[in-house]
A and B are shown apart, each in its own frame.
Chain A
């Protein structure tokens, strides 16, 4: 008699284990296959490119819009006659917020679809999972999100910021303007951990102090205990490297715990306009972020970009840094292909060196040494309407330095 209930438990326990593993990847891919333009090619076969983002799971909040921006760029290029007289045909795959899925789909895009380049990824974990696939298959990945640096693959172009184009200048700015004690809060994976190593090294060198460091699993939603710990530690600044929708829970609960932006500064590196929509501008008002681009960035290219994006996807949609970086990536690839006169990966890479493009964020240049791009750094404050007000910018575009070789305190990090 007892046997049956034991059986029931074991079934349940098994199910729970399976579910825990699948929290981030239960949904089936929704947009496999070709998302072609339907127009006949200008001449010859269309050029296939891959688009590989999380269209489901915890990262979908951020990545779907980047996919939209890349599709917009492809559509514009096709409307203007394509690349080398050929239309671009996007092949969309869903990485489902699951790193092995990213690697698998990257392999599929390169081997089966034989795409000329892939635009995709968001979390560093997804990039780290895809990196060996691109290196082995000699493919080309354009990665559009700011990341923790200390990496430079010959098969990846990084169109988002590396640490010295986002984190390092923001820490310097905070030390000068907001205070010396830092509480580091991040999601429990590669980007926040590496970023915090960099921050700790920099704080030690520039006279700051770390009073606490916490990591929570991706998708974590109860921050009450951590907020109590923050209250007890009384930092001047919470440096927030949480990713995905944990930010929603964290900021809502921070506000309810009675901590407002004028009592304590938080600076986030993964909360942009798109995330503000999901969190609520009233909750985030007054908090800071460090990026290279905001929807409010004042350039003629940006005015056109924002107008086109809203025209295509709706007036309530917003643009954000990774969205812009995804859009720029497609144009940089196009420029490189046209300069090379071929989609051959080696030729495209050679042609890309020193390439310039008038991006919505201002002029960007591809660095020939490490395939990152020069970017302007901007610190912004969230306003009531969910847009950023720029408090500071670096003036000129900053040369990418993923291994932080130009900083004295960076030596210990790049040695690792």
Chain B
């Protein structure tokens, strides 16, 4: 019983991490149709932004404030990653809309450059990020069941980010403009929307969310230049499985992969579990090539 409850929670936790890394991609790939292979590196940038914030707090802020650094790091990671994403859009991706192959190769190249840059600045070995004290330990439900606070925090963080994205996309005028441009660019342009600005903005938001993901990942894993490469494949899997262009699809994709991964891993091993998940995804996409939740729009055809 303990095992079952723990595994349910682990599944949920993995799903939330998958969702967090895939949300940014759901915007850049799902909405804009840009295969951004540098997405992993934007995650890495968020992680390093957290590391830098932590160091600044260590050197300049009173010791009692240290616990607060993580709360400050979240918006900083968002802004830094969003700025770099925006720069990437203006300098490179803007010229490659509608050419998926070219944007794939170009962003891959950018990803490698960013990795090398991180290696030059921070060194090849991993850097240590110590989690704030209030995230250490866990919520003890019973003797055998402990839910780590970090995992609970990440689940809550994902919920907040999702809510903000929903409110932004469906409840604000700039979100409405964004949807308009993604669904019918020329018509939106005719109606006086600056599609260029919306593109830049959208890409920046997607990148910023990747930054937040990077910030959250410092809680659970290693922080190194190649951090992003571990997660990029999973992120694409989630978006593809979920179906491009729908937030709901991304959520379902993340939940599905996270839960099944945990389930398979419990009864087999980590490697075989992952293989089984891949097999299931491939089989599912054979059956429903457009993913779990398909969007009815002309922009994808």
Contact = CB atoms under 8 A, between A and B. Distances in A.
Physical interaction between A and B: yes
Given A231-B144, A256-B150, A15 B35 contact: yes
Contact of B290 (A5, A30, A64, A255): A5
B289 interface: yes
A278 B125 contact: yes
A220 B124 CA distance: 18
Given A4-B301, A225-B7, A257 B222 contact: no
A303 B75 CA distance: 45
A258 B149 CA distance: 11
Contacts of B149: 256
B119 A30 contact: yes
A260 to B, nearest CB: 10
Contact of A15 (B104, B244, B274): B104
A167 B230 CA distance: 30
Given A4-B301, A188-B271, A256-B150, A249 B221 contact: yes
B274 A224 contact: no
B240 A245 contact: no
Interface string A1-22: 1101110110110011001101
Interface in B134-160: 136-138, 140, 144, 146, 148-151
Interface string B3-17: 100110010011001
Contacts of B289: 5-6, 9
A58 interface: yes
A178 interface: no
A64 B124 CA distance: 7
B270 A217 contact: yes
Contacts of B116: 27-28, 30
B265 A225 contact: yes
Given A12-B236, A30-B116, A221 B222 contact: yes
Nearest to B18: A222
Interface in A195-237: 214-217, 219-222, 224-226, 228-229, 231-232
A61 interface: yes
Contacts of B100: 8, 11
A256 B262 CA distance: 18
A274 B224 CA distance: 14
Nearest to B218: A252
B115 interface: yes
Contact of A55 (B124, B222, B285): B124
Interface in A22-58: 22-24, 26-28, 30, 55-58
Contacts of B219: 252
B130 A282 contact: yes
A249 B226 CA distance: 14
Interface string A275-303: 00111101000000000000000000000
A280 to B, nearest CB: 5
Interface residues of A, number: 61
A366 interface: no
B221 A216 contact: no
Given A229-B266, A245-B222, A280 B130 contact: yes
Nearest to B129: A280
A225 B131 CA distance: 21
Given A258-B140, A278-B128, A215 B226 contact: no
Given A20-B233, A23-B229, A56 B124 contact: yes
A72 to B, nearest CB: 17
B266 A225 contact: yes
A1 B296 CA distance: 13
A221 B262 CA distance: 13
Interface in B287-301: 289-290, 300-301
Given A56-B119, A188-B271, A28 B126 contact: no
Contacts of A221: 220-222, 230
Interface of A: 1-2, 4-6, 8-9, 11-12, 15-16, 19-20, 22-24, 26-28, 30, 55-58, 60-62, 64-65, 188, 214-217, 219-222, 224-226, 228-229, 231-232, 245-246, 248-249, 252-253, 255-258, 274, 277-280, 282
Interface of B: 2-3, 6-7, 10, 13-14, 17, 33, 35, 37, 100-101, 104, 108, 111-112, 115-116, 119, 123-128, 130-131, 136-138, 140, 144, 146, 148-151, 219-222, 224-226, 229-230, 232-233, 236-237, 240, 244, 262, 265-266, 269-271, 273-274, 285, 289-290, 300-301
